[in-house]
Amino acid sequence: MRLGCGAFAAGCVLVEVLGVALFLRGFFPAPVRSSSGTEHQAESPAPEPSAGATSNWTKLPPPLFSKVVIMLIDALRDDFVFGSKGVKFMPYTTYLVGKGASHSFVAEAKPPTVTMPRIKALMTGSLPGFVDIIRNFNSPTLLEDNVITQAKAAGKRIIFYGDETWVKLFPKHFVEYDGTTSFFVSDYTEVDDNVTRHLDRVLKRRDWDVLILHYLGLDHIGHISGPNSPLIGRKLSEMDSVLMRIHTSLLSEEREAVSPSLLVLCGDHGMSANGGHGASSVEETNTALLLISSAFERRPGDVRPPKLVQQTDLAATLAIGLGLPIPKHSVGRLLSPVIEGRAMREQLRFLHLNTVQLSRLLQENVPSYEREPGFEQFQVSQKLHGNWVRLYLEEKNSEVLLNLGTKVRRQYLDALKTLSLALSRQVAHYDIYSMVVGTVVVLEVFALLLLSAPQALGSAAELEVPLSSPVFSLLFYLVLLLLGAVHVSVCTSTEGSCYFCSLSWPTVGVVLVLVSALLCAVLSALTRTCVDGKLLRRNPARTNSKWSELDLLILVGTVGHVLSLGASSFIEEEHQTWYFLVSTLCLALCHESYRNCFLGDNGESPCCLRVEGRFVRAAPTVKDKSTGCDVLELDRVCTKPSSLDTLRGCEKAMVLASPWLVLGCCRLLRPLNHTGVQWAHRPDLGHWLTSSDHKAELSVLAALSLVAVFALVQSRCSPMSRVAMALGLLGIYCYRASIGHVLLPWQRGSTAVSRGIIEARFVYVFVLGILFTGTKDLLKSQVLAAGATVKTVGLWDVYSGLVLLAALLFRPHNLPVLVCSLLIQTVMTKYIWRPLKHGAAEVAVMHYWFGQAFFYFQGNSNNITTVDISAGFVGLNTYVEIPAMFLTAFATYAGPVLWASHLVNFLSSEPSSGSALRRAGFCYALVCSAPASVYVVLVTALRYHLFIWSVFSPKLLYEGMHLLVTAALCVGFAAVDQARVQSRSGRAAAS
């Protein structure tokens, strides 16, 4: 079966996406759910230890608090309460921290620092898996044992207002609730007003036990404007007034209550320097935790600096405070300051219940638990506790009891700390079988692409896929039978815990057939490669080609980048790798342009020949200027002199200066957005532009950038698209002015800020209009079999529509990134690729490199923090899942998408492109699949690495998403190439 190499590459990448998806499903396994309905059945509490006598305390202790109010402020970073911002904007809270009856903590959250996993950690005390960052967009019901379910089972009445994620996690748990959409980040006022409006009515009532309030406005402000926005101070002041209302109401009720109440002020995660969250920086993981109750004694002059604890510790503390069992899977430990005012026997009882729960969890998860230091400490603590109980029952000297009780308490606290740390290290649970199957699929596809490269880059740009060969048919059935036997053996020994084993047999059969077919194809390609190698050795005349310096740079750079993914530091600072590679590429292009110009002028072999994507130095021959040459058909030998000889003086000077111009643009963009880890906290030009003091400068820069975008794009657009582009760019500026990012010329001061819904939708109309016009012209040109120049008009209109959409979604300070991208594309097209006659393979790899570099020039990184989710809500007045996810993904990967789209336009615009588009699609698929293929192997080998969740896992998600984008782009490559083939066939039939 013969296939064009572009269509073959697109199919391979789609299969690789399936393999990566299966690998991710194994690497991020779904938690095991109990179907028996006994998950939340209460177990008998461990009795109080006793030495030689039966204890009389076998039940849970009574609740410490009659009512509990949890006020969760999304993205409440610790310095917002305990730092200068807290002193300035939260005076009442600052008073409670310094002099009130309270205990303050800095609660450390584990990555991923997004809302849904953090809520699970707060209520279950367990460490959610990294895959929960995906489930955050559509939270499933939480079936794991948790405080909310325990409270409901105990008959407590729970009321909730705020983020609807709670309603999804705990359906039918609240006697009253009002959920608000958490993902519509453009709203930071109504989303909190809808919570506060219930306060007065609820606080006057006494028919509830637990009140949960989740405020989202602070997090939304961070996503829109960052942590230094003046809106942050106003929101903190608003939250401080809400806290004061709740606290004063609880104090007034306590006069008639039997036991005191507890007010918990906490955050789910922090906020990075850019306003996002999701990664593992200190700003994102450290959150404020304040426990306020009249039960906490506070001596005059008692200064208590916030103590660092784990966020998972709150679940055990709330369970003890409400008189509930500690959740079974909690790895947290009781916050001991909460029980300091209680009698010694009660304190030891609470600590004993916590250590028993952790020790049971350790026994279930660690086979060699008896050798764990924490378990040994627990046994010692329990024995000492029993001795203390015996002395207590015998009514010995109180001073002896106090000293021994203090010793036992200290021993319990040490055991809790050691057990919690040991359990936290056991959270990595992998579905190895699903990971192996996914890895095999990915590596087979990559090997097939790699072995097919010589044939794909040949003269026909087509591949022979001999799946029907009789020899390999026998191998296919043998491999299929072997894989089926392995599957049955693995699934019967794993007791159904593997995801791949839980699939239906038809689905498993399709996967096994696919794996077997890929293996046969790989072996066939390997055999063909070996045969071709023998033929080349027998015919030395065919091996006279050699690699140029640029070819070697592309090869070494691509391989070096792939190998660098095995080091966490290179992943955190991957932008430096791409900055170095594109800078080196510019220097190599400069060297090549100088060599072509000056050697050509001296008559020393001015022509570079290309065979199968490689340069071939031509022997000095008589030049025939009338001889034509298709520079994009890599299999043909160019016998005409370099086109630099036909350029005028100013044009030749531009060829020599172009690499330096590109290098200068890349260097100017680097300080615009500091990314990565090491220097991300340092102020950059983007922070300077987005500050409120430099709004005028940002406005001028945004206006000039939009004008430059129009100037760089409009020349090849159709007249209708040109008008739509101009109006759309004008609408973008009006949109940014309406939401307060930039100033209009007639504005003298600050004006009312709106959401810009109308202005953004105005731009969307023109984006859709340009895309529709381009698609219509493209289809029309194929039907009419028009020439190459006319055919590219529709493609360029589609490209210009994507540019307009990117300009809308980019932050105003990032518009120069878009301008530089368009400028570099224009300069490289006119003065590098065409005059120097680069092949399709080289051009494709260069587009890939620049696309990756501009991904980081936007300010992106391998941390989830840098994903600008506010782009998903431009022009939306409510949360709509599919458009929001599409817009967010496009804004994130705008750099690679625009460069890949430009590659299609560039190759399609050549009058004699031949099969260059197929080769380019194949090369683009190959260089994109290489990092993903190697990275799944590296992640499997490093799955127990210290930074597996903070560094390697986020990068794995980025690689999976980038491969999905690449699959869509390769399908686009194949579709455009197929349309060109049909157009040529139509013209041939007509003639």
Sheet containing 286-292, strands listed edge to edge, beginning at the edge strand earlier in sequence: 176-180, 158-163, 210-215, 68-73, 262-266, 286-292, 102-108, 307-310
Position 783 scores a pLDDT of: 59
The mean pLDDT of 322-329, rounded to a whole number, is 91
Rounded CA separation 791/796 (Å)? 9
Superfamily of domain 67-341: Alkaline Phosphatase, subunit A (3.40.720.10)
Q: What percent of the chain has pLDDT over 70?
A: 83
Helices (DSSP H) in 692-839: which residue ranges?
Answer: 695-713, 719-738, 757-784, 788-809, 815-828
Position 640 scores a pLDDT of: 39
Sign (positive or negative) of CA dihedral 197, 203, 205, 206:
positive
Low-confidence winner among 574-578, 604-608, 688-692, 859-863 (lowest mean pLDDT): 604-608
- Give per-residue pLDDT as tens, 220-253: 888 877 888 888 999 999 999 999 999 999 988 8
The mean pLDDT of 682-696, rounded to a whole number, is 85
Hey, what are 264's tokens?
Answer: 């918990």
Secondary structure element (H or E) that encloses residue 617, with its range: strand 614-617
Rounded CA separation 48/54 (Å)? 9
- Give per-residue pLDDT as tens, 81-109: 999 999 999 999 999 998 888 999 999 99
For all residues of the chain together, what is the average pLDDT?
83
Contacts of residue 960, Cβ cutoff 8 Å, sequence gap at least 6: 17, 20, 21, 24, 932
Most confident of 47-61, 66-80, 340-354: 66-80
- Give per-residue pLDDT as tens, 873-899: 888 877 777 888 899 999 999 999 999
Q: What percent of the chain has pLDDT over 90?
A: 41
φ/ψ (deg, to 5) at 853: -65, -40
pLDDT-derived band at 843 (thresholds 50, 70, 90) equals: very high
pLDDT-derived band at 788 (thresholds 50, 70, 90) equals: very low
User: Which residues of 39-190 form beta strands (DSSP E)?
Assistant: 68-73, 102-108, 158-163, 176-180
pLDDT-derived band at 33 (thresholds 50, 70, 90) equals: very low
Position 180 scores a pLDDT of: 81
pLDDT-derived band at 607 (thresholds 50, 70, 90) equals: very low
The mean pLDDT of 616-634, rounded to a whole number, is 36
Most confident of 346-355, 619-628, 815-824: 815-824
Rounded CA separation 1/394 (Å)? 91
The number of angstroms, rounded, from the C-alpha of 40 to the middle of its chain's C-alpha atoms is: 33
Q: How many CB atoms lie within 10 A of CB 468?
A: 9
pLDDT-derived band at 628 (thresholds 50, 70, 90) equals: very low
- Give per-residue pLDDT as tens, 709-749: 999 999 888 899 999 999 999 999 999 998 888 888 766 55
> Is 80 exceeded by the pLDDT of residue 25?
yes
Position 643 scores a pLDDT of: 52
> Is 70 exceeded by the pLDDT of residue 334?
yes
Strands 262-266 and 286-292: antiparallel
Q: Which residue has the higher pLDDT, 105 or 968?
A: 105
> Is 80 exceeded by the pLDDT of residue 629?
no
> Is 60 exceeded by the pLDDT of residue 635?
no
> Is 70 exceeded by the pLDDT of residue 460?
no
Nearest to 562 by CA among 112, 937, 56, 153: 937
Domain ranges in the chain? 67-341, 546-913
Rounded CA separation 916/5 (Å)? 10
Position 599 scores a pLDDT of: 66
pLDDT-derived band at 901 (thresholds 50, 70, 90) equals: very high
Following CA atoms 702, 732, 227, 127 in sequence, which dihedral angle do they give, to the nearest 10 degrees?
Answer: -130
pLDDT-derived band at 363 (thresholds 50, 70, 90) equals: confident
Most confident of 201-205, 288-292, 456-460, 867-871: 288-292
Q: Report whether 864 contacts 675 (CB < 8 A).
A: no
Contacts of residue 688, Cβ cutoff 8 Å, sequence gap at least 6: 694
Low-confidence winner among 81-85, 500-504, 588-592, 649-653 (lowest mean pLDDT): 649-653
pLDDT-derived band at 580 (thresholds 50, 70, 90) equals: very high
Rounded CA separation 585/20 (Å)? 31
Low-confidence winner among 187-196, 282-291, 712-721, 922-931 (lowest mean pLDDT): 187-196
SS3 214: strand
Rounded CA separation 234/218 (Å)? 10
The number of angstroms, rounded, from the C-alpha of 245 to the middle of its chain's C-alpha atoms is: 38
> Is 70 exceeded by the pLDDT of residue 900?
yes
pLDDT-derived band at 571 (thresholds 50, 70, 90) equals: very high
pLDDT-derived band at 981 (thresholds 50, 70, 90) equals: low
pTM of the model: 0.79
Rounded CA separation 637/640 (Å)? 9
Nearest to 385 by CA among 355, 358, 359: 355
Residue with the two structure tokens 């001795």: 387
